[in-house]
């Protein structure tokens, strides 16, 4: 052995002593390092877990608040619009019972019928806003086209949509989630951006499903979105995020390269869609 040959007989004891001490010091040092390093990693894991839990709590609260707001809106619509209309119809019919004059009776019945027609239309609108039948019967493309046509029809802005590759429909629950996300984004654009046009495109690329929304108003970037998500405001955006989480999707907010319009991209993995379909 080279070590033995190199060491002179007198120094063997010295080398043995210091060698043993050195090896022990290295071993103990390594063990201590491993233990402390591991504890550091676990502390970091705990911190990440806490942050994730806080974020989930925030999303859940946002979801609950949005649900309550929706319920309040429906209650208000029914109470303020449908309620008085039906009460008025009832008054006309009551008058009918009292007044025996045939012309007056016919007029009352006719008025009551008009009011009931209006009430039916109102309730139909409330119902459609809760769950658009076009989405259920004809799919996401038709429902989005419908929505955009209504926006264009109102005259407030120019809205258009184009689906490039939507031969096969997604599962109903997933279509509803995507539709809600698009609805929420469009509502935000209508409320906050002052845009004059909004254009939606859909396409697929490999195993990914994309929906892109362009508008020329005031928008937000990805940084703004992340900040709003972490704060207590931005209820709608939190709702969007929690809905996309169900589909394992992503959303990107950016300003276009030409700096003339804002773009929102929703990305979903088609395989995840298929997996969700298989699971169900």
Partner 1 sequence: MLQLSALISEVLPIIFYLIFLKRNRGEGLWVIFLYCVLSLLTEPFYHMVKANIPQYFVYSSFTILEFTLFSFFFYSSLTERRFKYIPVIGAVLFYVVAISNFTKKSENPFDSLPASVEAILVISYCILLLYEQIRDPAIGLVYNNKKFWVIIAFFLYFSATLFLFIYTGALSEEQRSSYWPINNFFEMLKNILFCISFIMKKHYKNPYAVDSLES
Contact positions with partner 1 (CB under 8 A) in 201-260: 245, 248
> Does residue number 271 form part of the binding site for partner 1 (CB under 8 A)?
no
Residue in 32, 38, 171, 230 binding partner 1, rule: CB under 8 A:
38
Distance separating alpha carbons of residues 236 and 187, to the nearest angstrom:
9
Q: Beta strand pairing status for 208-215 and 197-205?
A: antiparallel
> Does residue number 6 form part of the binding site for partner 1 (CB under 8 A)?
no
Count of residues interacting with partner 1 (CB under 8 A): 33
| Cβ at position 37, least distance to partner 1 in Å | 7
Residue in 32, 34, 64, 131 binding partner 1, rule: CB under 8 A:
34
Contact 224, 253 (CB under 8 A): yes
Residue-level length of the chain? 280
Residue in 1, 6, 98, 100 binding partner 1, rule: CB under 8 A:
1
Nearer of residues 34 and 87 to partner 1, judged by Cβ: 34
Options 9-17, 141-149, 193-201, 252-260: segment touching partner 1 (CB under 8 A): 9-17
> Does residue number 76 form part of the binding site for partner 1 (CB under 8 A)?
no
Contact 178, 250 (CB under 8 A): no
Nearer of residues 34 and 76 to partner 1, judged by Cβ: 34
> Does residue number 31 form part of the binding site for partner 1 (CB under 8 A)?
yes
Residue in 16, 76, 106, 120 binding partner 1, rule: CB under 8 A:
16
Distance separating alpha carbons of residues 66 and 237, to the nearest angstrom:
11
> Does residue number 54 form part of the binding site for partner 1 (CB under 8 A)?
no
Nearer of residues 41 and 87 to partner 1, judged by Cβ: 41
> Does residue number 131 form part of the binding site for partner 1 (CB under 8 A)?
no
Nearest C-alpha neighbor of 172 from the set 267, 273, 64: 273
Residue in 13, 121, 129, 196 binding partner 1, rule: CB under 8 A:
13
Distance separating alpha carbons of residues 243 and 238, to the nearest angstrom:
9
Nearer of residues 48 and 106 to partner 1, judged by Cβ: 48
Residue in 15, 82, 123, 126 binding partner 1, rule: CB under 8 A:
15
> Does residue number 32 form part of the binding site for partner 1 (CB under 8 A)?
no
Nearest C-alpha neighbor of 235 from the set 112, 23, 60, 31: 60
Contact footprint for partner 1 (CB under 8 A)? 1, 3-4, 7, 9, 12-13, 15-16, 19-20, 23-24, 26-28, 30-31, 34-35, 37-39, 41-42, 45-46, 48-49, 52-53, 245, 248
């Amino acid at each position: 052995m080279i070590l033995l040959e190199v060491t002179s007989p007198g120094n063997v004891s010295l080398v043995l002593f210091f060698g043993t001490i050195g090896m022990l010091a290295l071993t103990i040092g390594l063990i201590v390092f491993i233990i402390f390093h591991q504890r550091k990693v676990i502390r970091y894991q705990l911190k990440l877990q806490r942050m994730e839990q806080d974020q989930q709590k925030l999303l859940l609260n946002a979801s609950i608040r949005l649900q309550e707001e929706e319920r309040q809106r429906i209650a208000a619509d029914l109470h303020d619009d449908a309620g008085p209309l039906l009460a008025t119809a009832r008054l006309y019919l009551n008058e009918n019972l009292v007044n025996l004059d045939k012309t007056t009776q016919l007029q009352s019945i006719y008025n009551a019928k008009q009011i009931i027609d209006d009430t039916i239309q109102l309730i139909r609108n409330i119902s459609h806003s809760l769950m658009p039948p076009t989405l259920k019967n004809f799919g996401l493309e038709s429902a989005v086209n419908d929505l955009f046509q209504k926006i264009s029809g109102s005259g407030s802005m120019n809205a258009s949509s184009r689906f490039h590759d939507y031969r096969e429909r997604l599962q109903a629950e997933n279509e509803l989630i995507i539709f809600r996300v698009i609805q929420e984004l469009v509502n935000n654009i209508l409320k906050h951006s002052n845009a004059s046009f909004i254009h939606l495109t859909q396409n697929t690329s490999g195993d990914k499903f994309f929906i892109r929304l362009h508008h020329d108003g005031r928008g937000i970037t990805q940084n703004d979105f992340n900040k709003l998500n972490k704060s207590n405001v931005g209820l709608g955006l939190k709702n969007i995020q929690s809905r996309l989480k169900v589909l394992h999707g992503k959303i990107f907010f950016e300003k276009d390269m030409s700096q003339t319009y804002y773009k929102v991209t929703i990305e979903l993995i088609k395989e995840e869609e298929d997996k969700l379909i298989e699971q169900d």
